[in-house]
Amino acid sequence: MTHLHNLPLQDLRFYATAPYVCSYLSHKKARSQVVTPGYIIDRKLYSALVDQGFRRSGAFVYRPHCDHCHACVPVRVNVRHFSPNRSQKRAWARHAHMESRECDLVFREEHYRLYARYQQCRHLEGPVLQEGEEQYRHFLLQSSVTTRLVEFREEGQLRMVSVIDELDQGLSSVYTFYDPDLPGASLGTYSVLWQIREAAQRGLPWVYLGYWIAESRKMAYKIRFQPLERLKVGHWIPLRPEN
């Protein structure tokens, strides 16, 4: 494991954001530790940062830095020893016929329309909030590292888009959005399984899934991809459902 004091940029600096409403636990306030803007975060540096619990949102690299909460737990799947459960096997069988294609990391109206539908159906409570094209571009299409944008189609119909960062030691799942109205679908599960398979085919040991939050319905599902590891006090250790 690479520690922060061994990173290529010896003078790397961070700042803490002001408190804001947590996106996953609405009754809590959150803060983030962000790499100071202006640094060029290349693949080698970003790989080391991800191994220390950082994530990327567009050009910003951050990790949770909350005052009185440690609910966000960095997790990664052990690709070599991963074994799908029954539900995951069904999800794979349900969607394995979809065609995947890697696209340039550029704006496409079709992708954005699917993203907007997904946001409205899955991630917004109360009145519908249009985040807009500019936010979409900043969030998913800005990157200084090696990033893949993969679209999945079923009989020509766009069903899902995954944005994935390539790391020295694995793949990092940035964001996936999909058709929220497809009956009987398990597209979110399938996207993780697809990334695990991709990592295995490339001989990469880890798929980083961001943060597991036990109290959040949106984030708790990650515990089902076993064996899973969590970052705790600078070390990756097993995270099992009973923990």
Q: How confident is the model at residue 108, as a pLDDT?
A: 97
Instruction: Tell me the per-residue pLDDT of 135-167, one tens digit each, with 9 for 90 and over.
Output: 999 999 999 899 999 999 999 999 999 999 999
Distances (CA, A) of 11 to 5, 62, 122: 9, 17, 40
Inter-axis angle of helices 187-201 and 86-95, nearest 10: 90
Are 219 and 226 spatial neighbours (Cβ–Cβ below 8 Å)? no
* Burial of 39 from C-beta contacts in 10 A (0-12 / 13-18 / 19+): middle
Q: Count other Cβ atoms within 10 Å, centred on residue 210.
A: 20
Instruction: Tell me the per-residue pLDDT of 92-137, one tens digit each, with 9 for 90 and over.
Output: 999 999 999 999 999 999 999 999 999 888 765 433 344 689 999 9
pLDDT score of 180 more than 50 = yes
pLDDT score of 3 more than 60 = no
Task: Read off φ and ψ for residue 151, nearest 5 degrees.
Answer: -105, 150
Q: Can you give the pTM of this predicted structure?
A: 0.90
CA distance 62 to 60: 6
Q: How confident is the model at residue 41, as a pLDDT?
A: 83
Interval 44-64 mean pLDDT? 92
Q: How confident is the model at residue 4, as a pLDDT?
A: 52
Amino acid at 178: Y
Interval 32-53 mean pLDDT? 86
Using DSSP's 3-state secondary structure scheme, residue 47 falls into helix
pLDDT score of 40 more than 50 = yes
Q: Kindly indicate the confidence band of residue 192, based on its pLDDT and cuts at 50, 70 and 90.
A: very high
Domain ranges of the chain: 4-70, 75-239
DSSP 185: -
* Cα within 13 Å of Cα(153), Cβ side: 10
Tokens of 54: 């950082």
- Region of 204 (left: φ > 0; alpha: ψ -120 to 50; beta: rest) is beta
Give the CATH number of domain 75-239. 3.40.630.30
Strand partners, 16: 33
pLDDT averaged over every residue in the chain: 89
